[in-house]
Amino acid sequence: MKSRPKGMPSEENFEFKEEELPNLQEGQLLLKSLYVSVDPYMRGRMSDAKSYVAPYNLNEPIAGGVVAEVVESRHEKYQRGAVVLGNLPWQTYSISDGKGLSPLDPDLGPLSYHLGILGMPGMTAYCGLLYIGEPKEGETVVVSGAAGAVGTVVGQIAKLKGCRVVGIAGSDDKTAYLKNELGFDEAINYKTTSNMREALAAACPDGVDVYFDNVGGEISDAVYSLLNKFARIAVCGQIALYNATSVPTGPRVEPILLKKSALMKGFIVSDYAARFPEAATEMVSWLKAGKLQYEEHIVEGFDQLPQAFFGLFRGENTGKLLVKVADF
């Protein structure tokens, strides 16, 4: 990262560098990046504002979820040819001392799934929806950012729980995908709908019991006005505001929460780390039983990383956006 973005990030904020890696020391492994994840939270880390994770440093690589192959090992736990998941730098190759790496089981699904449905975004969807949203059969669940990595999983789990599911996304292709492929009851294109509140009211004739918020901003303002008594709101993401250059303001939500006895809770997926094993077991069983569908938007080539990342903010992806760097 060469400079910190103001507003939407651009190529100017990045620089490609070529460096020789040193020889491996005892206890180290050489990793070849196979799949690199691009995620909205990275935008927050590019800024130096205080947050729940430290900012990226200037003139150092961005780091995030990477699936990598061990190509050389002087580490007792890892053999050459093993595949691992780690929080690793955006590099084609990197050296690790093994800390924070987890070996991947190829039987659980394709390797790339560990950056999506079987990884952080999948856990986010599962934990946020089930532990905060607590959807009950017959209730109405609205999810914004519905066609992305987290949103597609949220909507499908809500359907498995017997809910009416309404998704909000940014294109007609996405809304058609949500309804026709994933079984959402309704889907609204927020970019072509002039009155979101009216469109939502029509899609949610019985009001909204659970709102899984991936985007914030005006989309969420429209949802709040339709909350039912005892509604639950899982505040997962605010991507509509990540590139804002001034402090965003909006209608006050507290009077609505008060009148509706509604619960609004922000969360970071790691809050639920103790429950990941049970969540992962259920997700794998749903996936293997064909009860969950999963879409990936794979961009090829390490040099495409910045553009792939910008794609998140341009809504280019349906499903999980990631970059394939090398073959396994």
**Which residues lie near ligand NDP (CB under 6 A)?**
39-41, 121, 124, 145, 147-151, 169-171, 174, 214-215, 219, 236-240, 267-269, 312-313, 315, 317, 321
Minimum distance between the CB of residue 127 and ligand NDP, rounded to whole angstroms?
9
Minimum distance between the CB of residue 251 and ligand NDP, rounded to whole angstroms?
17
Minimum distance between the CB of residue 89 and ligand NDP, rounded to whole angstroms?
20
Q: Which helix (H) or strand (E) holds 232?
A: strand 227-235
Which is closer to ligand NDP, CB of 40 or CB of 109?
40
CA 106, CA 38: separation in Å to the nearest integer?
Answer: 22
For residue 183, what are the CA distances in angstroms to 153, 155, 161, 204? 12, 9, 13, 16
> CB neighbours of 193 closer than 8 A, spacing ≥ 6?
199
Which is closer to ligand NDP, CB of 95 or CB of 280?
280
Which is closer to ligand NDP, CB of 61 or CB of 266?
266
Minimum distance between the CB of residue 35 and ligand NDP, rounded to whole angstroms?
14
Rg (CA), the chain: 20
Look at residue 210 and give its three-state secondary structure. strand
CA 78, CA 98: separation in Å to the nearest integer?
Answer: 8
Which is closer to ligand NDP, CB of 78 or CB of 309?
309
Which is closer to ligand NDP, CB of 61 or CB of 315?
315
**In this structure, are residues 139 and 163 in contact, taking their beta carbons and an 8 Å threshold?**
yes
Minimum distance between the CB of residue 222 and ligand NDP, rounded to whole angstroms?
12
